[in-house]
Amino acid sequence: MADYKLYIGILAVTIEIISYVIYFWGIHQGKTKPHAFTWFFWGTANIVAYLAILFSGGGAGAWVFGINAICCYLISIIGFRQKHVIYDTYDWWSLFGALFGIFLWLLTRNPLYAVILVSLADVISIIPTLRKAYNFPFEENLFSFSVGILYYPLSILALGSLSLTTWLYPATVIVLDSALVILILIRRKKFK
């Protein structure tokens, strides 16, 4: 792996940690109220993505997903403990749909299929958070998600091997996080 990819990986992880410190601070202040289902799924998806990308030669570009998995699970636990979100039938279906994608990956045992299925499942799993952000746009941490949009492209640049298996999931997250940020901005303007 080229030295510059190592440094880009370190930079991506540093920005990621800053993003999560901001998110956790928002939770601590009572301003950020995470949707626990989405964060639980993201933790699981990031483990799958981390392993698939790492074993496909992702190198330092995979680090972001290992850190993400840990932080997502912590946020999910906090979200369940906060009990701010009432989970409806649609939330449960989204959770099961996302987890079904991971189950399908376990059956295929193919890293590319894993990344494709996790990317599709990620699209399903963000829907509860998008719904919550639409109704309560001030309960999501806009700045943290905006910073997140920065470290995923860096993780792609840090990849030791650039293939569909290694870049698809981070690209999916960039699109989804961007959509969430745009939705929050639009909805916050309506509430002002």
Give the residue extent of every domain in the chain: 3-191
Q: How large a percentage of the chain has pLDDT more than 70?
A: 92
Q: What does the DSSP 8-state code read for residue 88?
A: -
Model confidence at 180: pLDDT above 60? yes
Q: What is the pTM of this model?
A: 0.84
Taking each continuous run of H as one helix and of E as one strand, the counts in the chain are: 7, 0
Residue 87's pLDDT is what?
Answer: 67
29, two tokens: 């202040």
Residue 9's pLDDT is what?
Answer: 95
Model confidence at 103: pLDDT above 90? no
As a whole number of angstroms, the distance between CA 43 and CA 37 comes to 10
142, two tokens: 């806009």
Q: How large a percentage of the chain has pLDDT more than 90?
A: 47
What pLDDT digit, counting tens, does each position of 111-129 carry? 788 788 888 888 888 888 8
Residue 74's pLDDT is what?
Answer: 96
Q: String of b and e for 95-121 (b: at least 16 CB within 10 Å)?
A: bebbbebbebbeeeeebeebbbbbbeb
**Worst-scoring range by mean pLDDT, 65-74, 86-95, 127-136, 181-190?**
86-95
Residue 6's pLDDT is what?
Answer: 94
Instruction: Let me know: does 181 contact 126? Beta carbons within 8 Å.
Output: no
Model confidence at 53: pLDDT above 70? yes
